[in-house]
Each structure stands twice: as structure tokens, then as C-alpha cells.
Amino acid sequence: MSRNVRVIGGFQTDFSKNWAREEKDLTALFTETLHGGLEAAHINSGEIESAHVGNFTAELFCDQGHLGGFFTAAAPEMAGTPAMRHEAACASGSMALLSAMSEIEAGRYDLVAVLGVEMMRNVPGAQAAAFIGSPALWAGRECIDVKYPWPHMFGKLGEEYERRYGLKREHLSEISRINFENAKRNPNSQTRKWGFDEKSFTSDDEANPTIDGMIRKHDCSQITDGGTVVFLASDEKAAEIVARAGRTLSDAPRISGWGHKTAHIGLNEKLDESRDAEYVFPHVRAAILDMYRRAGIDGPAGVDGFEVHDCFTPTEYMAIDHLGITAPGEAWKAIEAGDVALGGKSPINPSGGLIGCGHPVGATGVRMMLDCWKQVTDRAGDYQVENAQRFGMLNLGGSATTAAAFVLDKG
């Protein structure tokens, strides 16, 4: 029988920070992330038995690979600690989490670090779009001669919803508005100081210009520098560490459910395969159902809120019905009812999500897990969901090629 896996805290950098502008490199970002987490979780670096890093494109943005070696560079006491890097586009951090979980479940280790990091603001915006484009697409087959690949791809997802069920601009705009509003409550969000007016979430071409197809400026997640680390532990090690701070095991909630599925890398292929299916992305729905089953809950009513992958507003629109908050194609009902807003029945992205908080690609899955931990330990501050006992997350890579879902449980 596998062992419990508990989350004992971590750290997120300020996602509004431009590290290159401050003449700091990826090493500095990684180091601040790791040491911030060690201090926050009351852990000595020499205690860590294994380490994992999620990262997508350090080779392109920073001319740097082999990131497992950064743990010892940042903390010499970790010399000799086994470490490895994971890549699955925007789900890279979740792949690191899954690998770390398996080590604890198997009894190999009792304390494992999972760090996600990405530096993306050290190049011009068009170059950044290219760097995060073709590596996660089907290279040479998708988005040839498309200036902004990902707005184009997720605009096609929106078009598929429009074709199957109908889709109104006002519902995508409300997703965007909610996430930016939530981000203002988050002291680490990239957009917390941004200003908006009554035209910002409309089809006004000056206030909210078109990027590609149905995707407008405020439908998009951000290009972000950032790092996040969480520490996973067995029951025994978690109890030992939280006791140092005078806390109890309830401050180290367990990962009670998870799901992981991978589909064809091509978006058209995925959409073609689901033409007659109930859900646009059946494999995403399957990952979510696995998460619920393993957690022993029937569906979203057993979860107090979610952090989901809103790389673009149609992605969150898809997530709402795939999570089971509504029937397929009816996400608009939850949006209009206020169910997904902070204070609603199924709040989504109280942190601000990728649109409001920011999206350092390799760190996003880890950041979601840290925010789930904050929610169930009552540490989310101004974006706290009242009395949260269980929190879920859905992290996607590429055109939803990789899907990873988790539930964190205070019980």
C-alpha cells in the first residue's frame, strides 16, 4: 500500500518582477525560490533527499539546460542529492510533482523538493512568443507562419465551442474580468497594480485589441519571470517538520487525488477524435475523473475551489464543464450565476490564475499546488476561500496535450 504524500509549504517569487531588467539571471531566480521556500517551510537544505525541477524553455530563453545541477549551485549542502528536470510544456511543474509523489509513495524518500522556474521577460515579446510556440506544438505541421501561435490555437478551441454549443464574447470577457479582479488581492501577482476601465473587457479595439481570431489582449495569460517551490513529505517527516513551527499535521495537507493523461500533440487531431464525444477533450475529462475517484469524492461539489489552467479564456471556459461544474457546453451558466467568482459555489482561480497572477511556464503547476496549500491551510490572505477543506487544480501542457489534475485535502 502506498504512503500518503503531504505538502508542507513553499514559496513563490513576485511574478511582477523583471529579473533581466534588474541584471539578475536564472541562477538568481532559482536561488531565491529555493531559499525562500526553505525558510518558509522551516527546512534545512541538507534534509532534502531528492529534488525535481519543472522547466520548459531555459535552453531558448537563457541558453541553459541541465537544471538539476542548480539545486547544489543554490544550496551547496545539497551536493550529491539526486535531482532531475521535467518538461511537458505548461504542465512541466505538474510532471515534477507526479514524479516526486511517486518517490514518497514508494518509500524511497521522505522529503522531496519540487521547484518550477521560468525566465521569459529577457527577450522581446515577439521572440518570447516564438520561443514558447513551436516547441510545444507539432513542429512543422501547426501554426506555420502564424505570428502568435498560442492565441491562434486556443482561439480555435473557442471556435470549436462556438460550433458545438454556441459561445458568447461576454462570457469570455467575464472570465478575464474575474481573474484580473482576483489578482489585485494577490501580493505576488504580476497584474496586481494594473488599471482597467469599463472598456477593458469589451470588444473595443483600442482598450482590448484583437490578437488572433476571437482572442483579444485581456483573454491572454502573461509572459512572466517566476519561480515556485513546494516540499512534499511522508506523514512521519511532515509531522516532524511542522512541529518545529508549533503547527499540527493539518498544516501539511495530503494529496488525496490525482489524474494524468496525454493525448495527440496536434490540436486538430484531438478535436477530430472528439467529434462525437460528450466532451471536447475526453482525455482531460478522464484525468479529472481519475482525480475525483482517487480522492474518494463524487465531483466538484466535494471540492471548495480550483486553480485551473487559464492560458486563454477559452481554456478556462473548457475547464469549467470538464470539471463537472456544468454540463458540457454550459459553462456560461456558472459564469452568469457567479459560481466561479470568489465567494461563489465553485470559485476558480482566486489567485488570479495565469491571466492575472502570471504564467512562468515551467513554474505554473507548482504555483497552483502552492496556492491549493495556501487555501486549505488558511494562508491565502485577501484571496482566501472561506473554510476551504479541499482544493483542486487542473494544469495543461501544449494544446491540452498533457493534462494533470490534483486534489489537496486538509483531512
Pairing of strands 215-216, 210-212: antiparallel
Strand partners, 37: none
Q: How confident is the model at residue 286 (pLDDT cuts 50, 70, 90)?
A: very high
**22 exposure class (CB count in 10 Å sphere: 0-12, 13-18, 19+):** exposed
Query: What local confidence, expressed as pLDDT, does residue 350 receive?
Result: 98
Distance of CA 75 to the CA centre of its chain: 26
Q: How far apart are CA 176 and CA 356, in angstroms?
A: 8
Residues 6 or more apart whose Cβ sits within 8 Å of residue 282: 273, 274
**Number of DSSP helices (H) and strands (E) in the chain, helices first:** 14, 11
Beta strands in 213-308 (DSSP E): 215-216, 226-233, 254-262, 306-308
| pLDDT higher than threshold 60 for residue 1 | no
Query: What local confidence, expressed as pLDDT, does residue 357 receive?
Result: 98
Of 349, 291, 293, the C-alpha closest to 320 is 349
Q: What pLDDT digit, counting tens, does each position of 129-171 carry?
A: 889 988 999 999 999 999 999 999 999 999 999 999 999 999 9
Q: How far apart are CA 26 and CA 21, in angstroms?
A: 12
Q: How far apart are CA 5 and CA 196, in angstroms?
A: 41
C-alpha cell at position 392 = 483542486
CB of 109 within 8 A of CB of 101? no
DSSP 3: P
CB of 184 within 8 A of CB of 192? yes
Sheet (strand 111-118) strand order: 83-86, 50-54, 111-118, 226-233, 6-12, 254-262, 402-409, 390-397, 306-308
Q: What pLDDT digit, counting tens, does each position of 315-370 carry?
A: 999 999 999 999 999 999 999 999 999 999 999 999 999 999 999 999 999 999 99
> Looking at this protein, which amino acid is placed at residue 50?
S
| pLDDT higher than threshold 70 for residue 227 | yes
